[in-house]
Structure formats: structure tokens, C-alpha cells
């Protein structure tokens, strides 16, 4: 009987120890983020917003930044960065561009989407002292629409650097990423791909703005987003996959 009690006592002690260890080792899942750096670079007409985010939680997630620009009470720009993955302890920078068509006093607000959470900053002042009158040198042709991206040819009539492609007008509620291209030579052509996420897909109008050289060059182009189908759609899909657009 005494031996049985000793065995029972040892079993209870061991079970309590194992349970305690399991509880101590377990880590609660935490989806958290922190802004550790925010930079605003104004170069004449082109404004670059750069913000660095730090995943201070315990789980990884995908995130993207969104920028609102206001003129008084009017929302005049709604821009999205590209989507990036952030693992616990990882830091990444998100860039968003805005082209100011005129000088003036504006406000901007930054919003971060991460996991299923949203972090939003208060509005801040944005002053454009001088906006130059740009030259129209870019041309967009041969655009094609796919389920989650569009592809088009971008031609430059002059040498250009620090080129940014900004979806300017599109369906409210859709997500449309921007694109930055380091440089283009005179009369060169680049195939460009822009990612987008529609709420519910339907043929839609899209206006793209292209700026470079701190706003010295600027062009706009309106296109009709309408998916290709059948044999023509298949041929273009193969053709675009081989071209490897930027």
C-alpha cells in the first residue's frame, strides 16, 4: 500500500511538472506593428513618402501602406504601396508617390494594413512651395488586362530618370500598386506590369500618370480595362510571360 501511494504521488508530481512546462513554453499569437521611421521627400512636383515598419509581434503577415492626400476637406489622392511580407522581428520600407499639379498647402495621412489589422496616423501638413510646368514625353501603348495585373508598353521621348507610375483614377475600393523605374533612354520602350486587386471585377476605366526627373516630365494616359479572352488572350499571356516586364 505504501509503495502504491509513493507511485501515485510521483505520477501526480510528474503530471503537474509537465503541464507547468507546457504552459510556460506556449507563446500567444500577437499581430503587432510599429512605425520606426517616416520620411517625406519633396522634389518640385514629385513627393515621395517612405515609411519603415517593424513587426514587433509573434506571427508573420503581409502588409502594405496607403497614403491619403487632402486639399482642405477634399481627398485628391489615394495611393497604395506594393505588398510585402513581414516576419516577426523584420523591418521593411514602404514607398508611395504623389504628383502635385500645383503649389499649395495640403495634408496627408498614412494608413498601414497588416494581417487583418489597420494602423492609421493623424493628418500632417504638406506644403508644396513651387510646382514646375512639366513636359509631356511618355506614351503608354499595347495595354492588356489580366485577373490581378495589367501590362503595357511605356515609351520615353527623352532620357529620363527616377520614373514613377501612379494609378491616378480607378474604381473606388480597388487596390492599385504604384511602380518605380530607375531610368529610361531616349526612344526606349519598357514593358511594365502593375498589380491590382478588384473588389468585384468588371470592365473599368483607369488613368495612369507617369512622372520623372523630379517632375520635369509628366504624362497621363486613360485606358479601358477589359480582359482578353479566347485564343488572343492565350497568345498575349504567353507573350507577356516571356517578356518579363518590370
Domain presence at residue 21? no
Domain presence at residue 103? yes
C-beta of residue 97 within 8 angstroms of C-beta of residue 47: yes
**For 42-101, what is each residue's pLDDT tens digit?**
988 999 999 999 999 999 999 999 999 999 999 999 999 999 999 999 999 999 999 999
Domain presence at residue 223? yes
Whether 59 and 148 share a structural domain: no
State residue 134's pLDDT score: 93
Q: Which of 128, 151, 183 is the last residue of a domain?
A: 128
**Range name among 17-26, 91-100, 104-113, 149-158 with the lowest pLDDT average:** 17-26
State residue 199's pLDDT score: 87
Q: Which of 84, 99, 128 is the last residue of a domain?
A: 128
More confident residue, 64 or 246: 64
The set of cell numbers assigned to 94 is 514602404
In angstroms and rounded to an integer, the radius of gyration of the C-alpha atoms of the chain is 25
**For 176-216, what is each residue's pLDDT tens digit?**
999 999 999 999 999 999 999 998 888 999 999 999 999 99
Whether 174 and 104 share a structural domain: no
Residue 118 CB contacts under 8 Å (≥ 6 apart), including other chains: 111, 112
State residue 104's pLDDT score: 93
State residue 227's pLDDT score: 86
Domain presence at residue 15? no
**What distance in Å separates the CA atoms of residue 4 and residue 22, rounded to the nearest whole number?**
27
State residue 4's pLDDT score: 45
State residue 2's pLDDT score: 52
| Residue 113, pLDDT above cutoff 70 | yes
Residue 231's pLDDT band (boundaries 50, 70, 90)? confident
**What distance in Å separates the CA atoms of residue 190 and residue 181, rounded to the nearest whole number?**
10
| Residue 129, pLDDT above cutoff 60 | yes
What are the DSSP calls for 27-69, one per residue?
Answer: -------EEEEEEEEEETTEEEEEEEEE--SSS-EEEEEEEEE
- For residue 182, what are the domain limits? 138-243
Report the CATH number at residue 161. 2.60.40.10
**What distance in Å separates the CA atoms of residue 103 and residue 101, rounded to the nearest whole number?**
7
| Residue 19, pLDDT above cutoff 80 | no
Domain presence at residue 26? no
Q: Which of 75, 102, 128 is the last residue of a domain?
A: 128
**For 152-185, what is each residue's pLDDT tens digit?**
999 999 999 999 999 989 998 999 999 999 999 9
Does the predicted model carry a pTM greater than 0.75?
A: yes
Domain presence at residue 153? yes
State residue 94's pLDDT score: 96
| Residue 9, pLDDT above cutoff 70 | no
Domain presence at residue 228? yes
Amino acid at each position: 500500500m505504501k509503495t502504491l501511494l509513493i507511485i501515485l504521488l510521483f505520477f501526480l508530481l510528474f503530471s503537474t511538472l509537465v503541464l507547468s512546462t507546457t504552459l510556460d513554453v506556449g507563446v500567444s499569437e500577437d499581430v503587432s506593428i510599429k512605425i520606426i521611421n517616416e520620411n517625406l521627400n519633396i522634389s518640385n512636383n514629385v513627393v515621395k513618402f517612405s515609411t519603415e515598419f517593424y513587426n514587433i509581434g509573434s506571427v508573420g503577415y503581409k502588409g502594405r501602406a496607403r497614403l491619403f492626400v487632402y486639399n482642405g476637406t477634399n481627398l485628391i489622392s489615394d495611393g497604395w504601396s506594393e505588398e510585402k511580407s513581414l516576419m516577426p522581428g523584420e523591418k521593411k520600407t514602404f514607398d508611395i508617390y504623389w504628383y502635385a499639379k500645383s503649389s499649395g498647402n495640403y495634408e496627408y495621412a498614412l494608413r498601414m494594413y497588416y494581417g487583418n489589422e489597420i494602423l492609421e496616423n493623424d493628418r500632417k501638413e504638406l506644403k508644396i512651395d513651387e510646382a514646375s510646368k512639366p513636359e509631356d514625353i511618355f506614351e503608354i501603348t499595347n495595354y492588356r488586362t489580366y485577373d490581378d495585373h495589367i501590362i503595357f508598353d511605356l515609351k520615353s521621348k527623352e532620357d529620363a530618370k527616377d520614373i514613377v507610375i501612379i494609378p491616378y483614377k480607378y474604381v473606388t475600393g480597388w487596390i492599385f500598386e504604384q511602380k518605380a523605374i530607375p531610368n529610361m533612354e531616349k526612344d526606349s520602350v519598357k514593358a511594365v506590369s502593375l498589380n491590382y486587386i478588384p473588389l468585384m471585377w468588371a470592365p473599368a476605366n483607369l488613368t495612369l500618370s507617369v512622372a520623372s526627373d523630379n517632375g520635369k516630365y509628366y504624362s497621363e494616359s486613360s485606358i479601358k480595362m477589359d480582359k482578353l479572352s479566347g485564343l488572343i488572350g492565350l497568345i498575349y499571356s504567353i507573350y507577356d510571360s516571356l517578356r518579363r516586364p518590370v
